[in-house]
Chain A
Amino acid sequence: GENVGLHLPTLSVQEGDNSIINCAYSNSASDYFIWYKQESGKGPQFIIDIRSNMDKRQGQRVTVLLNKTVKHLSLQIAATQPGDSAVYFCAENVNPGGSNYKLTFGKGTLLTVNP
């Protein structure tokens, strides 16, 4: 079946460095992607999304890149802070264009920011 996966299960960076979290997806028909941040004991928090008609989208300190040729999604966090430490999930819409949809999530990448 189609699924979303992550290249790196853990990532450790120094405070102030830039972080890049990667995600591979296998459903070429997916048209909508979201990055979530999940802190311990909390639900996933929306960070940024991107539609398949775009290849880059920027938010506050975050940038999402979409490469449909190789089915790759990445999240870049600029000037990483200790508060960015969390598990990051990418998710894809596996029922594009349908009247309903469900997101398929990867297993997540644990980002640890060292002060």
Chain B
Amino acid sequence: GAGVSQSPSNKVTEKGKDVELRCDPISGHTALYWYRQSLGQGLEFLIYFQGNSAPDKSGLPSDRFSAERTGGSVSTLTIQRTQQEDSAVYLCASSFRTGDSPLHFGNGTRLTVT
């Protein structure tokens, strides 16, 4: 079956512009996560959704970052007024349930801010 789908796969933007990253989770997965991975680094947690609500936004780096999820499915991560330090790979994952169910990741969106 289809895995987690993310778009675009690559995004180059100028500093100060807004960007939207999209995630389409595996059908039936109620939990959705956003992570960020900088070059050669591990994964940094950003935000978690259970259904359409976000019980944990603790990882969002600043108020320039926001995310929403509609219909318990597709999620959008928005970065406003992008900065060069926002350059990274943004990974989305989904899981069937929380607590003891593995996350399944998409291939990410590589964001480059020039």
Interface positions of A (Cβ within 8 A of B): 31-32, 34, 36, 41-46, 49, 51, 89, 91, 93, 96-108
Contact = CB atoms under 8 A, between A and B. Distances in A.
Given A100-B48, A100-B50, A41 B98 contact: no
A103 B48 CA distance: 11
8 contacts: A41-B107, A43-B108, A44-B43, A46-B103, A93-B99, A98-B98, A101-B99, A102-B48
Interface of B: 4, 31, 33, 41-43, 45, 48, 50, 55-56, 59, 91, 93, 98-100, 102-108
A108 B42 contact: yes
B56 A45 contact: no
B100 to A, nearest CB: 5
Contacts of A44: 43, 91, 105
B108 A106 contact: no
B102 A100 contact: no
Contacts of B33: 102
Interface centre among B45, B48, B100, B104 (most CB of A within 10 A): B100
A42 B107 CA distance: 5
B100 A51 contact: yes
A43 B55 contact: no
Contact of B45 (A34, A45, A49, A103): A103
B91 A46 contact: no
Given A44-B43, A89-B42, A103 B103 contact: yes
